[in-house]
Chains A and B, each alone.
Chain A
Amino acid sequence: MIKMEKDILQIENEKVESQLIINSLTPENCEFYETAGGFAAIKVGDKDYGHINIIRTFPFSSLWEFLSVREVEGKQEEIGIIEDLNIFDKPTFELIAKQLEIRYFMPEITKIISIKEEYGHAYWSVMTNKGKCSFATAAGSSGAVTKKGNRVIIKDSDENRFEIADITKLTTKEFKKLDLYL
């Protein structure tokens, strides 16, 4: 019984210790590959984790740094962290970028066609890099449109996000439409 207790404690301690360090994933200690279904997967040493989740730890400030690589099932334990994706080769970069694009789907608005206010909501009709789309934001909500420098992030009533990368590139007419919400 005492021995068993010690084993458990050792496992618990190791678990706690492992949580204190950053298990850095580099091209030397891991290999990313694409599953037949189009998902990113990873092999670390002899262990093949299969399909993984890749999460940006700083989704607004660092797009390609400190990416948390996690298991998909169960408690979604962290496998490791990619400190800088740029150190990986091009196919790996592209594979992970594709996964991140799906996870952080944020179409870039290239043209504001119209913004109409009705019944407390602003209805946007826009052209994005992913095609034409329409969405609605709560008209009185101060959190719906946020501006940082020249970049604007719009959160719609369904919690989708849209981006205007550079508002200086909008036409005067488009800017006037947007200006009421900035």
Chain B
Amino acid sequence: MELNAKLETKKLNKLREVTKDEPVYCIPIDLTKDGNFTVDSYVGATKSGVFVFEDDVLSYYSFQKIEKAFNRVQTNGTLLTALVDGEEIIIARCSMRYVSGIASLARGINILLKGNTERRVINNDREKRCRKCGRVLPGTVSCPKCDKSGGNLKRFLDICKQNKAYLFIIVCFMLLDAVIGISKEYILRFFVDEHLVTGNGTVKDVMLFFAAYFGIIIIGLFIFYIKSYFCGKMGVKVVHQLRGRLSNHLQRLSLSNLNTRNTGEIVERVMGDTNRVRHFFNGTFCSTFNQVFYIIGVVTIMLIMNWKLALLTFLFMPLVIVFTKTFWPRINKIFSNLWRKIDGIQNKLQDVLSGIRIVKTYGREKSEIDEFCKANESHAEINYKNEKFFAIFYPIITLIFSFSTYIVIYAGGIDVLKGNMTPGELMQFVAYTGMLLGPLHSMSYLPRDIVNMTTSLERIYDVLGEKPGIVNEENPLKHNVKGDVEFKDIVFGYHTHQPVLDGVSLEVKAGEMIGLVGPSGAGKSTLINLVMRLYDVDEGALYIDGMNIKELDVEHYHSQIGVVLQETFLFAGSVVDNIRFARPDATMKEIILAAKAANAHDFICKLPDGYNTYVGEKGHTLSGGEKQRIAIARAILNDPKILILDEATSALDTESEYLVQQALERLRKNRTTFAIAHRLSTLRQADRIAVIDDHKIAEVGTHNELLKNKGIYYNLVMAQLQMNKTADS
């Protein structure tokens, strides 16, 4: 997110009247201090103070008077406040739109207040709106409106280019389809004029006409089939190509990239957006573009046949388009309301069935039935209203659509009577009018379909264009890790306005075991995420064996880390696949040795298919302890230099815990280990314990040292002792 909005010259000059310093930070705001909406208002900082422009009114607070700045996030909005002469005052106010910017500004002001005028706060939060037009970005970096590079069209053409052979066949068959469809009516005209009107026709002529007309319909169907087949094939191929590229790219992205989107959004882009592109090729491209050939052909022939009648027919066409456009939002709403109601009923039913034990235990069956009936009734009511609407809507739309036909029949009929037109020509004309109306109706949706497709393409290419947040620097070091780890003044947050670690410093020697304790949300898991280099620090540095972690080759470094988490995730595959995950080249012997060290060999032998037993979803169900031991075997096989244990034994029963603890003790020998545990007894082997509280390291020391200090750790130990005593008694 940008923290340097440009001040207009008038405002800049006004600021220069009170300070000689230029703005270091400048963020737009949308509220005055009184809570009224404002435009062209800004808050920012120079090297010597904080400025606020509410419209053109400038307020300036010199750093000589300010002690500290705060971002006070409210439920709807935020306040930038500051301690001025010992009293906290509101400096500026804005809606949630600028909350991230205000958080960064507060941090920036506090850094400036410390006299550090060179360091700048960087806001990594994704821009939500286009800087140029202010439109909401649909989860993308570039704005679909302002991106004039022809990006989406180019992307679409690129896709077409990759499948040009298919495209050529499709276009050829589209042309053939149109030719067949149009020429069919010529045969009808010839038959009527030459055989029926003249009275010269015989049964043989009727049979011949029937055979020719039937034949042409069959040929038309065949052409339609080939065209649809290739459209479908092209759609599938395009989706296959896009999904392949997306999943490859997603694997290469770092967690910091992936965390800016939720899982649903990523799945939606891989599945939903690619599907929309496929639908475009299968549906819009295949049918609507086909209609273009029809329209061109039919309009040309109609103008040649009888231009006056043709123009009269075209007069009513705009009415069809306007009518469709006017009623489209209403129809859209009708369907979305209906789907919402259906969703409501389904959710209610699913809720009740999933929680049936609770419902029955509390004797709430009647009220649940009542609520379901209410939702059902409301659905029926909406359905009834919709049916009523469509009962009126469809006849009207049919009437409007038929206006052109009525006009053609009337005016054409008169032309026939005057001898300006043959009855066959009139029949052909009426048929063409019908042919024109259908495509026009569907063509009116074309802009919407194109926008949907290009928005999906935009979202797909937005992911494809994203650079991984964690990448190797130039000439990365393939360093064999010894295990010294140093955190130096680390500041990190998943979102800029919420720092999870704020000024953390800690030195860990190779082979040392560090226990990390503290309340949930204090930043323990975040600390080990940084050691695992799943994220890069915002400020400060993390050193491994004295080298900045950013200088190391990411893949090589990751191969030297072992992880055992609270919830072990087993991939769909066999036990051996899961153990081998960290080192695919491991031999059978090495795998068995690792499983033995992890106390896993015995239970694996008892599984129906031994090491080849299929686990994962729909596979053999393993207990929590068994899964953990497989994870430990996986970590042992990897021979990590740095080991991460995140609540590795917290979800286990006593017997499993004992076996896992034994395995972990073997695993952590001679390795730098970071272990998170809420149950403090599991950290008795730790060389030192770091207590993380309020986003900082509050205490560090051995178990005995921390007990002597009688700080947070002491209180935690005492509280757990008491809990154990209560449980025992």
B719-A12 in contact (CB<8A): yes
User: Looking at the complex, which one of B35, B451, B719 makes contact with A130 (CB distance below 8 Å)?
Assistant: B35
Report chain B residues within 8 Å CB of A118. 135, 145
A133-B90 contact in complex given A12-B718, A121-B138, A160-B77, C-beta closer than 8 Å: no
Report chain A residues within 8 Å CB of B77. 102, 105, 160
A130-B144 in contact (CB<8A): no
- Measured CA separation A161–B340 after assembly (Å): 22
B145-A8 in contact (CB<8A): no
Which of B81-89, B243-251, B386-394, B473-481 faces chain A? B81-89
Which of A18-26, A34-42, A78-86 faces chain B? A34-42
Residues of chain A in range 128-162 having any CB-CB distance to chain B below 8 Å: 128, 130-134, 136, 138, 142, 157-161
B89-A158 in contact (CB<8A): no
Closest to A98 in B: B35
With an 8 Å Cβ cutoff, the count of chain B residues facing the other chain is 46
A105-B95 contact in complex given A8-B715, A38-B89, A120-B138, C-beta closer than 8 Å: yes
Closest to A99 in B: B74
Closest to B95 in A: A160
Q: When each residue 310-343 of chain B gets 1 if its CB lies under 8 Å from chain A and 0 otherwise, what string results?
A: 0000000000000000000110110010001001
- Measured CA separation A136–B133 after assembly (Å): 13
B128-A158 in contact (CB<8A): yes
Tell me whether chain B's interface is mostly helix, strand or loop, or mixed.
Answer: mixed
Report chain B residues within 8 Å CB of A105. 31, 35, 74-77, 95
A to B contact number (C-beta, < 8 Å): 104
A131-B38 contact in complex given A37-B81, A158-B128, A180-B333, C-beta closer than 8 Å: yes
Most chain B C-beta atoms within 10 Å of own C-beta, residue among A51, A74, A75, A133: A133
B451-A119 in contact (CB<8A): yes
How far is the CB of A130 from the nearest CB of chain B, in Å? 5
| A46 interface contact, C-beta 8 A | no
How far is the CB of A16 from the nearest CB of chain B, in Å? 10
With an 8 Å Cβ cutoff, the count of chain A residues facing the other chain is 43
How far is the CB of B66 from the nearest CB of chain A, in Å? 12
A130-B333 contact in complex given A8-B714, A12-B722, A161-B76, C-beta closer than 8 Å: no
Closest to B454 in A: A119
Report chain B residues within 8 Å CB of A36. 87, 89
**Complex A-B, nearest 9 residue pairs according to Cβ-Cβ distance, in ascending order:** A37-B89, A131-B37, A158-B97, A8-B718, A133-B37, A103-B74, A105-B76, A136-B136, A105-B77
Interface residues of A (CB under 8 A from B): 4-5, 8-9, 12, 35-39, 51, 59, 72, 74-75, 101-107, 118-121, 123, 128, 130-134, 136, 138, 142, 157-161, 179-180
A-B contact pairs, 16 of them (CB 8 A): A5-B718, A35-B87, A37-B87, A72-B72, A101-B35, A103-B74, A103-B75, A104-B76, A105-B95, A118-B135, A119-B136, A119-B145, A142-B343, A158-B95, A159-B76, A161-B76
